[in-house]
């Protein structure tokens, strides 16, 4: 592995760590200041901070299926790690390094919650549209997933992913 690749991986790892720390810190704050307290209204009838212990996925799907979520998280993180190892260390792929960092930090952030507490701490709530309560890790996954779709559909071509092809011996 060359120095440039090590630098790209190091920066991606630092990004994952920074995002993960921000996610865990905001969840700590939510636990400390929102749990068993009245909601904090930021914009009346639009946005508020509301503490929620989510034992399922979005919209309450798969309640109390901790093992399934942890297995999927571990599988995703392994796949992301292998993808990062194979991806070329060129400026063309910098957006994908950022996207992989966001997806990985989001998966790991919610995975940590499930390991530590058995549930995910959510606290952002858009009451105007009664949107499911969410957290920073959910934002990382949503934004990164959206960017991944945009980049794959409009920026990268099939040959840009040739590095993922199995090498024949």
Catalytic residues: 122, 138
Return the structure tokens found at 80. Answer: 């992301």
H helices of 87-160, where? 94-117, 136-154
Q: How far apart are CA 17 and CA 15, in angstroms?
A: 5
The answer to whether residues 136 and 30 touch, using CB atoms and an 8 Å cutoff, is: no
The answer to whether residues 138 and 125 touch, using CB atoms and an 8 Å cutoff, is: no
Q: How far apart are CA 51 and CA 27, in angstroms?
A: 9
The answer to whether residues 102 and 88 touch, using CB atoms and an 8 Å cutoff, is: no
């Amino acid at each position: 592995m060359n120095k440039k690749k090590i630098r790209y991986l190091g920066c991606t790892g630092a990004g994952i760590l920074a995002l993960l720390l921000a996610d865990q810190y905001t969840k700590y704050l939510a636990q400390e200041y929102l749990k068993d307290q009245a909601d904090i209204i930021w914009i009346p009838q639009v946005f508020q901070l509301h503490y929620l212990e989510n034992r399922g996925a979005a919209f309450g799907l798969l309640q109390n299926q901790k093992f399934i979520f942890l297995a999927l998280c571990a599988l995703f993180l392994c796949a992301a790690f292998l993808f990062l190892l194979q991806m070329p260390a060129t400026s063309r792929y910098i957006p994908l390094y950022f996207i992989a960092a966001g997806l990985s930090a989001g998966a790991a952030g919610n995975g940590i919650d499930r390991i530590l507490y058995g549930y995910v701490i959510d606290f952002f709530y858009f009451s105007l549209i009664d949107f499911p309560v969410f957290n920073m890790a959910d934002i990382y996954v949503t934004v990164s997933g959206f960017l991944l779709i945009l980049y794959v559909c409009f920026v990268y071509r099939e040959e840009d992913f040739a590095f993922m092809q199995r090498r024949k011996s």
